[in-house]
Amino acid sequence: MMSEISQRWDATPWITLISYVSGSKPLIETVDRSAAFAVSREDARTHGLLPFAWDSGNLCVAVAEPPSLQARLLLDRIGPVKWYRTTAIDLVLAQREIYGDLSDRPAPFGELARQRGLSQEALDELLRMQQNQGGLLGSLATAHQHLTSWDVAEILSAQTGIPTQNLLQDSPAASPELLNVWHLLTEKEWRDYEMVPVAVGPDTITVALTNPFDTPGRRKLSLVAKTRVKAVLTGHRDILARLDQQYRANNLVLSRTLLLHRRPDDSATQTLTKSQKWAGVALVVALIAALIFDRDVALSVVSSLFVLIYALLVVHRLWIIRKGTLTTNELRFAREEVENLSDSDLPIYTILIPARDEANVLNVLTEALSRLDYPKDRLDVKLLLEEDDVETIAAARRAKLPSFMEITIVPPEEPRTKPKALNFGLQRARGEFVTIYDAEDIPEPSQLKKALLAFRQSDDTLACVQAKLSYFNIEQNLLTRWFTAEYSVWFNLLLPSLHAASLPIPLGGTSNHFRTEVLRNIGAWDPYNVTEDADLGIRLNKSGYRTAVMDSYTYEEANSEFVNWVRQRSRWIKGYLQTWLVHMRHPVQLHRQLGARGFWGFQLAILGTPIMFILNPLYWLITSLWFMTNWGLIPHLFPPGIYYLGMLNLLAGNFVFAYLNAVGAAKDGHWSLVPYAILTPLYWTMMSLASWKALLQLMTRPSHWEKTHHGLTDWNPVTAADHRESAEISA
């Protein structure tokens, strides 16, 4: 056995660790400092070793004596090792050059940070954070705006002797060799490793990275490249800028076509397929033929069908009231559960914030995100700004955003929609989980942790957790009161009812939390659908995933201006019609995917909502004409049984929907809104106007995104979430 070990040791190749000059060439350094710090200086000295290079996936390590079992176990935790022999004097001198003498060790990070102006008080606070939640001191310092990412790079360079490279000022020139290196790893791997290639030599690739002590990226690259990899240090912002430069065009293509390529039948690129167009033509021809053959019977059949559909929708709303008031299966988490989450065990969480023409709400957004009860160094916030939105971009750059917020410039190519911007941001997401907030949103501080608890306490089929939405300017005017009551119905009755019945859930446009990989795998958002949220909820269900509703609130700005409200509401209704047309391209397949209950639940929730408001003005007009003129055509439209059912719809329907708004507002604690439920029919008139606008626009501009303007209120939104959460905790 000893002879075998001796033979292996004799066969170990030799290496000199001392820098040398070869002819006219510059000084050749044998030891790559970025490899040397794969182990601590204490371990290197204790075990008599020195890592000096990454080569073909192996960590090359020099020793003067056969490595001990403890040394092998230490390095096995890093990965494959290739051993080299060196002289004892070479090893000692090289260790002294890299790690410093025992009496001349490099200063710790905190001491070097103090030399750069970090106060002792701030350093003490950062050290307490590090003890409680883990993480790197440099990441914590930048997340809390004590240091810039370039400060951190220079401090690490002073610690390790690894040189820095400013990629914002000295971006590597493009070359075929460098392009080939980019192709060795995926975009996700480069982003996860926070590493980019900057130079290619005959037998070495040089990469820029932010953390010299993180080894997996260099090991992976050296393995696939089958060559040595050395490193220089740079700032986090430098890495992001280089990645943006490299992948911008590809990100744009994927943001527009990912769903179209993966699931073309689920894309709203075309509003109607050829078969749907022919079916529509056939239906119109059949209706015209029926009217010619027997007008009275044809009108009676069509009218009766609509009355029956309307009655079914009224019954569906009654079911919502009953189910929504009785259900208790929305996800709730006690204060202790949230507080017991260990910050050191929390993953990176990506937040996507599309913000077009939102310069006036950025200060509110920044404060809301700063209030989130989540380690700031684990937040990956993408502020998605359109390239031609000069005002918002300028405001964001003036705002000195915290380092966890990254300004992401979205190219202005069509479609100019929120889901395209979200898809662009998703390509760059680093988080295990991802959520969406609008620019004016005020999420409750504990919302991310509650969503994380929901995912951890469920199996992998739970792909989405929807938080509830409400408004912070409820009492601004009559429109904001109606709007808030409607949202209360949606998030306190409808969605919990669908959740309880395991039916497809059309998501809200914000505060939905996803498993990032699931979202990517199903094609992310449809950039051509103007209610991408509802469509995504249906697609998740079709793919076998579940959506849950949790009892956590995000506060938004309720629309307080009529024209602005019509723009927003017509877009929502148009999107629901889009979603119905897309998923009904193959009704038999949809029935098989959703099941019978899911299929009919889809019809009532997605088609029923716009149909109801499109029909309302027609029946109001017919009823008015009947009472005012006793028009002779009316009896032909409504056979006796259908006539009485229609009258019941008029009377009971008005009551049911007004009562629905009252119950929703009361369940949400908005008792002051209950009296305004009596005026619900007036709100329906506005809904019908928006619905007819949506129907016309569906035929002319199906993917046109009408922007909702925010910042139209003087109400102070910032503490709304805190007030709600405090009230729940004390209750």
C-alpha distance from residue 200 to each of 55, 176, 178, 394 (Å): 14, 10, 6, 37
The answer on 520 and 388 residing in a single domain is yes
Task: Please say which residue of 73, 99, 125 terminates a domain.
Answer: 99
Alpha carbons within 13 A on the beta-carbon side of 12: 23
Contact status, residue 446 vs residue 722, Cβ threshold 8 Å: no
Rounded CA-CA distance 457/333 in Å is 11
The answer on 342 and 213 residing in a single domain is no
Q: Within a domain: residue 145?
A: yes
Checking DSSP bridges between strand 405-410 and strand 204-209, what pairing results, if any? unpaired
The segments of the chain whose pLDDT lies below 50 read: 1, 21-27, 102-104, 727-731
Q: Return the CATH number at 671.
A: 3.90.550.10
The answer on 184 and 36 residing in a single domain is no
The answer on 705 and 615 residing in a single domain is yes
The answer on 431 and 344 residing in a single domain is yes
SS3 564: helix
- What is the per-residue DSSP string for 159-172? HH---B--TTTSPP
Contact status, residue 243 vs residue 190, Cβ threshold 8 Å: yes
Domain that holds residue 503: 309-730
pLDDT of residue 549: 93
End-to-end CA distance of the chain: 72
Neighbours of 147 (CB within 10 A): 25
Dig out the tokens for 549 from the structure.
């509703």
Nearest to 530 by CA among 578, 575, 576: 575
Query: Which are the contacts of 87, defined by CB distance < 8 A and separation ≥ 6?
Result: 64
* The residue to which tokens 């497809």 are assigned: 504
Q: Within a domain: residue 41?
A: yes
Q: Within a domain: residue 129?
A: yes
Q: Residue 556's beta-bridge partner residues?
A: 471
pLDDT of residue 203: 83
Contact status, residue 489 vs residue 495, Cβ threshold 8 Å: no
Nearest to 461 by CA among 533, 519, 536, 547: 547
Contact status, residue 353 vs residue 437, Cβ threshold 8 Å: yes
Nearest to 376 by CA among 396, 345, 341, 402: 402
Q: Return the CATH number at 42.
A: 3.30.300.160
Q: Output the 3-class SS for 6-24.
A: HHHHHHCCECCCCCECCCC
The answer on 238 and 343 residing in a single domain is no
The answer on 440 and 363 residing in a single domain is yes
Q: Within a domain: residue 368?
A: yes
The answer on 115 and 89 residing in a single domain is no
Q: For 659-698, what is each residue's pLDDT tens digit?
A: 888 888 888 888 998 998 888 888 888 999 999 999 999 9
The answer on 392 and 489 residing in a single domain is yes
The answer on 622 and 695 residing in a single domain is yes
The answer on 545 and 407 residing in a single domain is yes
pLDDT of residue 235: 93
Q: Within a domain: residue 294?
A: no
- Torsion angle (degrees, nearest 10) of CA 446, 137, 75, 52: 140
The answer on 398 and 325 residing in a single domain is yes
Task: Please say which residue of 99, 120, 144 terminates a domain.
Answer: 99
Q: Within a domain: residue 426?
A: yes
Residue 105 gets which letter from DSSP?
P
One-letter amino acid of 501: A
